[in-house]
Amino acid sequence: MPAAAHTSWDWHQLANLGEQLRSENSLSAQCDQIINMTSQLMNGVADVWLQEKIFRLPDWGNKSTFPAQPKLEAMKLAIKQGKLIVKNSKTKNSASSGVYACVPLTDAGVTLGALYVSRKKGTAFLAEELNLLQGIAQIVSVSLLAAHRVAVEQFRLRQLNLVRAVSTQIANAQDLDELAKQVTKLIQKTFHYYYVALFTLKQNFQSLRFRASAVASRKGKKKANIALEVDIGQGLIGEVAQTGETIVCDNVQKDPRFRFIDSLPETKSEVVIPLKIDNQVVGVLDVQSDRLRAFHHNDLLILHSLADNIARAVEGAYLYSNLRRRAEQMTLVSEVSKSVTSTLDLSELMRDAANLIHTKFKYPYVSLFTVHPIRRLISYQAGSGRKSKQLEGYSISLDDTMGIMPWVAQTGKAILANDVTKDKRYVPSPLPPQNTKSELCVPLLFNDKVVGLLDIQSDKLNAFTEDDQIMFEAVADTIAAAIRNADLYRSEQWRRQVADSLREVAGLVSSNVGEDEVLGTILTELDRNLPVDISAIWLLDNDELRLSAVHGIDAMELEAACIANPESAYSMAEAMLSDEPVIRKPDDPIWPGGLTAGYDKKLFIYCCTVTSRG
């Protein structure tokens, strides 16, 4: 073949090589094309080494096509000297000696790699062959960089498509947790980052709320949703939440703020971006890589664009959540009103109200109490959860100086404690949960008088908002009115029952029955109408009190107690001779009935009604 025809054919093939390299979508496929074409044109065995870090894209994964340094010494020498290296045999029988030629692959002063050709049993390289090899190297370098630029543009296009996809997700998202799950998965999948997590932050809160995460597949390990707990100012994430400034950490081992997490052992670099609305931080996007200096300037531009979209989505989700919550609150107030006004049974209305609050707002620990100023007690009436029946009969002294509920009952003011350890009034109680962290206690007010309490406790910090307090105060007003109606109904029933008892006693008196029978009937009717354990009637006979009838204890033991405790008997006589009914206070001397029954002086309150003297 003539030399001119051969040269034309070579350059035609070289032009095709450039086209083929630009059409391949992987570096390994491009290398195969380079080796095949060079081997054919140079009539030898070709090899190529490339500086892979120049061509590597984030979505290539961790497996490398080329070693960090070339293995062949000829390649190292060509790259070091930046020129063609040739070894032609100097023996007479050139066919028996190996020859090679190696040329660096460069473009615009950047070394991309090296191209090597050897002939183990061939002739020495001619000058025109060496020129051809250098021509191949030039075309390969230009074509590789052109193909790389196309790959970069395609990768950026995928990134922009990610932004669009996230924007689409955001446009349709109303649930913040679901949005976070989708967004972190999209970012991790598109960028091939090691770990991506999303946190949100509410104003005045001291910790970030983890929403969702996505982690790269690891050999021998299942993908997991790795949740991180972060306080404001803690580590890289906490500092970004506190300052509102992005942190790019190219090597986490050199940053003292970095918190090593056992479940993320391969983190080498990290970028943390605040989610901001009107300069207020509403969350944090955390991205971690298993490569050093993994975040290119263009990557950061895309991530910041994503962060802006996510921030708007978070704000929108909050607004939607607040609107939905307000609608549910209004519905709850309406349902509680309807429920509590549909019955005049106090136990039933309290139980229905507690269950409604529990089911509508998912608060697991709801309790309702009635307040009794005369008895000085706060009595448990109803609640949610399995322990509600066990708490029946539980009461708290209205005069306790410690405790959130006594304070609310005494002052008529609500308490919202989102961290009970910081409220000096808080004392533990048998009410669930065992590890109370937040408590909201609202008085049930009727005509400015506390008739009960609504107490909600949580095992989570910052469980309640001011909106919750306002809503439950509205619910409390409805429950208080229902309690008042139930009390009136119960009082009317009691009055009728008392009237029946009085008629029963009056009938006996008019029938001229004996004194003992009349007095015994009076105590029987008293026991039927009042929750008493001990009742007695003392008559004044010649300026001395005489025990005439008694229920609940032995008469002889009661009289013996009077003789043995004159101060107690005198205190009781003084009360019985009063013009008005007297309620014994805990600090007063305990009366003979209480002594006989062995009641606790601090807890027992005895009511005595004075008989008329004529």
Q: pLDDT tens digits, residue range 366-375? A: 998 999 888 8
Does the pLDDT value for residue 2 go beyond 50? Answer: no
How confident is the model at residue 373, as a pLDDT?
A: 87
172 pLDDT band (50/70/90 cuts)?
A: low
In the CATH hierarchy, which fold is given to the domain comprising 341-490? Answer: Beta-Lactamase (3.30.450)
| pLDDT given at position 219 | 65
Place of tokens 């971006």: 273
Checking if the pLDDT of 96 tops 60, the result is: no
What fold, for 3-155? Beta-Lactamase (3.30.450)
Decide if pLDDT at 315 tops 50. Answer: yes
pLDDT at 149 over 90: no
Q: Which pLDDT value is given to residue 607?
A: 54
pTM for this one? 0.50
> When comparing pLDDT for 38 and 227, which is higher?
38
Please compute the mean of the pLDDT values over residues 263-282 and round it to a whole number.
92
Average pLDDT (24-44) is: 86
Q: What span, in angstroms and rounded, lies between the C-alpha atoms of 340 and 435?
A: 31
pLDDT confidence bin for 614, thresholds 50/70/90 = very low
pLDDT, tens digit (0-9, with 9 covering 90-100), for 455-480: 998 888 888 888 888 888 888 888 88
pLDDT > 70? residue 518: yes
What average pLDDT does range 189-197 have in this prediction? Answer: 87
Bridge partners, residue 170, by sequence: none
Q: Find the mean pLDDT for residues 314-322.
A: 77
pLDDT-based confidence at 360, cuts 50/70/90?
A: confident
Query: Between these two residues, 195 and 389, which has the higher pLDDT value?
Result: 195
pLDDT number for residue 603: 47
Kindly state the percentage of the chain with pLDDT values over 90.
24
All CATH 3.30.450.40 domain ranges of the chain, comma separated, are 3-155, 173-320, 341-490
Residue 181 has pLDDT above 70, yes or no: yes
Of the candidate ranges 215-224, 246-255, 459-468, the one whose mean pLDDT is the lowest: 215-224
Q: Is the pLDDT of residue 195 over 90?
A: yes
Structure tokens, 14? 């070289």
The rounded distance, in Å, linking the Cα atoms of 453 and 442 is: 6
d(CA 377, CA 552): 24
Handedness of CA 484, 487, 492, 498 (dihedral sign): negative
Q: Is the pLDDT of residue 604 over 60?
A: no
**Dihedral in degrees, nearest 10, Cα atoms 336, 341, 347, 351:** -20
Given 3-state DSSP classes, what are the helix, strand and coil percentages for the chain, each rounded to the nearest 5? 45, 20, 35
* pLDDT of the residue at 86: 93
- How large is the average pLDDT for residues 307-336? 77
| Main-chain dihedrals φ then ψ at residue 213, nearest 5 degrees | -150, 160
Q: Which one has a higher pLDDT value, 2 or 23?
A: 23
| CA pair distance 481, 548, nearest whole angstrom | 43
Position 221 scores a pLDDT of 59
Closest of 72, 82, 125, 120 to residue 103, by C-alpha: 82
603 or 447: whose pLDDT is higher? 447
Q: Is 26 left (phi over 0), alpha (psi -120 to 50) or beta?
A: beta
pLDDT band at 196 (very low <50, low <70, confident <90, very high): very high
Distance of CA 353 to the CA centre of its chain: 27
Residue 47 or 177, more confident: 47
**434 pLDDT more than 70:** yes
pLDDT digits (tens, 9 = 90+) for 478-493: 888 878 777 777 677 7
Q: Is the pLDDT of residue 168 over 80?
A: no
Mean pLDDT of 13-27: 73
Evaluate whether 257 touches 236 at the Cβ level (below 8 Å).
yes
Name residue 537's amino acid.
I
**Mean pLDDT rounded to a whole number for the chain:** 81
Lowest model confidence (mean pLDDT) among 281-285, 297-301, 440-444, 526-530: 526-530
Name the pLDDT band for 241 (thresholds 50, 70, 90): very high
- Predicted confidence at residue 220, as pLDDT, reads 58
| Mean pLDDT of the 292-297 span | 85
Band of pLDDT at residue 507, cut at 50, 70 and 90: confident
Under CATH, which number does the domain 173-320 receive?
A: 3.30.450.40
Q: Is residue 247 helix, strand or coil?
A: strand
Given this model, what pLDDT does residue 93 score?
46
Q: Enumerate long-range contacts of 354-362, CB under 8 Å, 24 or more apart.
A: 354/382, 354/383, 354/384, 354/388, 355/384, 356/332, 357/332, 357/384, 357/454, 357/456, 357/472, 357/475, 358/384, 358/385, 360/328, 360/331, 360/332, 360/335, 361/328, 361/332
Please classify residue 512 by burial: count the beta carbons closer than 10 Å to its beta carbon, then call 0-12 exposed, 13-18 middle and 19+ buried: exposed
